[in-house]
Amino acid sequence: MYVILLGPPGVGKGTQGVLLADAMGWQRVVTGDLLRAAVDAGTDLGHEAQGYMSAGELVPDPLIIEMVKEKLTALPPGRGVLFDGFPRTEAQASAFGLMLQALGRTIDGVVVLEASDEVLTARIAGRRSCPSCGAVYNTVLAPPKQEGVCDNEGSQLVHRADDTAATVEHRLTVYRRETEPLIAHYEASEASVHHVQGDKRVEEVQGEVLEVLGLGT
């Protein structure tokens, strides 16, 4: 199955993506993680992307499309794939459609996670993530067992440079303007689109995500 997780920053795409991919043995394609890795590695892509990311702007479509194309062709065939943070614009969605067509694949489901701006802002302020396994914590809502340390990996958790109050509001505006219209894009396509409230307990949201995708027990 190929599934897209759509939703504003802070809604829980990362958390739900890890849980869903682990439960199903799927690959994850997370453009934010790929970009952060490129920045850390100091590649040309990383240098180009860094300014946009720290300003809460989208990285230009051609860079993203090329990056995803490379990633898609390198994926082992036959496994489910979960896309988190991609596509984010109409141009990316169109290019993605063509990439999938060339691979003989289709999007089987789109899960739209939703929450109010107040919930999103609070979550992002306390968000900490593990650079090794991608696990996401919240200092208030879902703290790790030991402060600042990943329960799974023992790695030091990081606070993303773009998770500041100043940037969050802008990222939400960019989401509403550029990415939210993709819900209508996929509703008008063959893919089935499911809306799930993301402001509940992690396990509850996970149960609903599995359910709407027809993967619940």
- What is the number of the residue whose Cβ is closest to ligand AMP? 32
Q: What angle do CA 39, 41, 47 make, to 5 degrees?
A: 40
Residue pair 107/6 in contact by the 8 Å Cβ criterion:
no
Q: What angle do CA 138, 141, 147 make, to 5 degrees?
A: 50
| Closest distance of CB 84 from ligand AMP, Å | 7
| Closest distance of CB 158 from ligand AMP, Å | 12
Residue pair 115/198 in contact by the 8 Å Cβ criterion:
yes
Q: Which stretch binds ligand AMP (CB under 6 A): 15-23, 86-94, 118-126, 187-195?
A: 86-94
Q: What residues are annotated to the active site?
A: 13, 88, 127, 160, 171
| Closest distance of CB 174 from ligand AMP, Å | 7
The SS3 assignment for 211 reads helix
| Closest distance of CB 217 from ligand AMP, Å | 30
Residue pair 44/151 in contact by the 8 Å Cβ criterion:
no
DSSP per-residue letters across 36-54: HHHHHHT-HHHHHHHHHHH
The verdict on 12 binding ligand AMP (CB under 6 A) reads no
The SS3 assignment for 192 reads strand
| Closest distance of CB 33 from ligand AMP, Å | 7
The SS3 assignment for 158 reads strand
The residue with tokens 């968000």 is: 127
The verdict on 26 binding ligand AMP (CB under 6 A) reads no
The verdict on 17 binding ligand AMP (CB under 6 A) reads no
C-alpha 48/C-alpha 38 separation (Å) is 10
The SS3 assignment for 145 reads coil
Q: Which of residues 159-178 bind ligand AMP (CB under 6 A)?
A: 162, 171
The verdict on 9 binding ligand AMP (CB under 6 A) reads yes
Nearer to ligand AMP, 164 or 215 (CB): 164
Binding mask 47-76 for ligand AMP (x = CB under 6 A): -----xx--xxxx----x------------
Residues at the site binding ligand AMP, with contacts judged by CB under 6 A: 9, 31-32, 35, 52-53, 56-59, 64, 85-86, 88, 92, 162, 171
